[in-house]
Structure 1
Amino acid sequence: MRELVFALEYEPGCNRVADTLAEHPDARIRSLSLHATPERLWRVDHATGTPEALDAIEDAFLNSDYYADCLATGDCGATQTTRVLDHTDDTLVLYSDWERTPDCASVPHIARDHLGDGVLFETRHEGRHYTWRVIHSGEGDVAAFFADLEAAVGDCARTEMLRTAETSASTGDAAGRSDDLSPEQEAALQAAVEHGYYESPREVDVGELADHLGVPRSTLTYRLRRAEEQLAKRHVADSQLGAEPSTPL
């Protein structure tokens, strides 16, 4: 089995959920389950954030013109139902059921076309970045998958490859080693160190660093956060592996 991790970075006005999360940068949405057949898609999502952010996220899911996961650039005529399973001050759980039409496209359905039926999905949405983790057999055509994905999103989003690897490695090893960082993440970290972003006090802020690299501020923030997350997980995993076993009393 292989793991494929990539992100879609949505342009403003192309995805209402992305626009909402961009307005509430501390909010996050992750999938609890996601399943797709040739004709349907259903999923459960867990959102966290301030009460104001969760209200806005709920409204974006319930009142958008078309289903958020559809990559069509307009109303494709699909039938969707979204229900609120739980809504507290800091948690929102949503169930969505989407019946597609021939005009619809989505990441899971494009993946099924090129990577086979036995594909697993995990997602995380923060700001304008929609990160997908796809587990597949490794026998499909990944290049064709990305070609169709980029054609479907068009000018609405940019695709960024984050990682592709075998899934046989342990979680602590595979998720956190620096050589698993994408080239963009490596470049962001290197520039951040070289320009004093991690000095105290900082010699450059994230906006200045983004201008130097020629990328949007939100993109650089996302790349640094993901790289830092992977390095932190590697450090903790390595520390646990190297720890001496406790002596029984």
Structure 2
Amino acid sequence: MRELVFALEYKPGCNRVADALADHPDARVRSLSLHATADRLWRVDHATGPPAAVAAIEEAFLNSDYYADCLTTEDCGATQTTRVLDRTEDTLVLYSDWERTPSCASVPHIAHDHLGDGVLFETRHEGRHYTWRLIHSGAGDVAAFFDALQAAIGECAQMEMLRTAETAASAGGRDGASTDLTPEQEAALRGAVEHGYYESPREVDVGELAEHLDVPRSTLTYRLRRAEEHLAKQHVTGEGVTDGPSPPI
């Protein structure tokens, strides 16, 4: 089995969910379940955030001119239904059922076309960054998948490859975490250290750091968060733990 992890960074106006999340940096949307066939898609998503953010996410999902997961920028004629399964002030669970048309394009359907049946999907949406994790048999044409995906997203989003590797089972029981950061995450982390972002008190805030590194603030925040998450998981699983006690704080 093979794992593919990549992120799409949507430009303003290209995806209403991304626009809503960009306005509410503390909000998140993650998939609880996602299944696709050649002509249909079903998914359940879990959104969290402050009440205003959850309301904006609900509005974006329920009232978009076209399905939020579609890569087209106009109505493609698909038949889609989105229902609220659960709702509190700071959480939202949504069920979506989407029937594809010939002009529709989405990550799951492009994956089905080029990687075959049985692809597993996991998604996480933060700000304008939409991260996808795919597990597939390894028998499909990965290069053709990414070519088709790049053609479908056009000018609406930038794609960033985060990881491509064997899964834990194929690698002999490892937990599946990559041992290396992506070059973009490594550069963000090094820049943060060099400019004093991790000093106490901080010598720069994230906006100033983004200016120093000539990277959009949302992109830098995303890369730092993913790098920090990666390093924390390495530490907890023992990959980054040293012998002996930690130095005093």
Question: 1:206 is aligned with what amino acid?
Answer: V
Q: Deviations over 1:54-106 (max 9, x none)?
A: 11111111111000011012111111100000001221000000111111000
Identity of aligned residues (%): 80
2:157 is equivalent to residue 157 of structure 1:
yes
The Cα offsets for residues 32-61 of structure 1, whole Å up to 9 and x where unpaired, read as 100111111110001111111111111111
Question: For the residues of structure 2 that align with 1:137 and 1:45, how far apart are their CA atoms?
Answer: 25
Deviations 1:6-54 (A, max 9, x none): 0000000000000001111111111010011111111000111111111
SS at 2:204's partner residue? Answer: coil
Structure 1 segments, 4+ long, off by >4 Å, are: 169-173, 239-243
**What does residue 231 of structure 2 align with?**
231
Partner residue, 2:211: 211
CA distance in 2, matches of 1:207, 1:240: 29
How far apart are residue 212 of structure 1 and its match? 2.5
Shift of 1:190: 1.2
Distance 1:114 1:239 in 2: 35
Q: Does 1:49 align with 2:49?
A: yes
In structure 2, relative to structure 1, the CA distance for the partners of 1:242 and 1:196 (3 Å cut) is closer
Q: Is the 8 A contact 1:71 1:104 kept in 2?
A: yes
Distance 1:86 1:172, change over 3 A: farther
1:232 partner amino acid = A
Distance 1:241 1:192, change over 3 A: closer
> Is residue 2:121 matched to residue 1:127?
no
- 1:167-206 equivalences in 2 (<5 Å): 167-168=167-168, 169=171, 173-175=175-177, 177=179, 179=180, 181-206=181-206
| CA deviation string 1:155-212 (max 9, x = no partner) | 10000011111112589743263x1x11111111111112221111222222222223
Change (3 A) 1:232 1:81: same
1:246 matched residue in structure 2: none
Which amino acid counterpart does residue 132 of structure 1 have in structure 2? W
Verify the 8 A CA contact 1:21 1:28 in the aligned structure 2. Answer: yes
- Could you tell me whether the CA contact under 8 Å between 1:172 and 1:233 is conserved in 2? no
User: Could you tell me how far apart the structure 2 residues matched to 1:121 and 1:171 are?
Assistant: 20
Q: Contact (CA 8 Å) 1:172, 1:237: kept in 2 or not?
A: no
Question: How far does residue 138 in structure 1 lie from its aligned partner after superposition?
Answer: 1.5
How big is the shift at 1:4?
A: 0.5
State the TM-score, normalized to the length of structure 2.
Answer: 0.92
TM-score, normalised with respect to structure 1: 0.92
Question: Could you say what secondary structure the match of 2:83 adopts?
Answer: strand
Q: Which has the higher helix share?
A: 1
Task: Report the aligned-residue RMSD.
Answer: 2.0
Shift of 1:240: 11
Deviations 1:103-133 (A, max 9, x none): 1000001111111112100000010000000
Match of 2:68 in 1: 68
Amino acid at match of 2:176: A
Equivalent pairs counted in the alignment come to 242
Amino acid at match of 1:52: A
- Aligned-partner SS, 1:203: coil
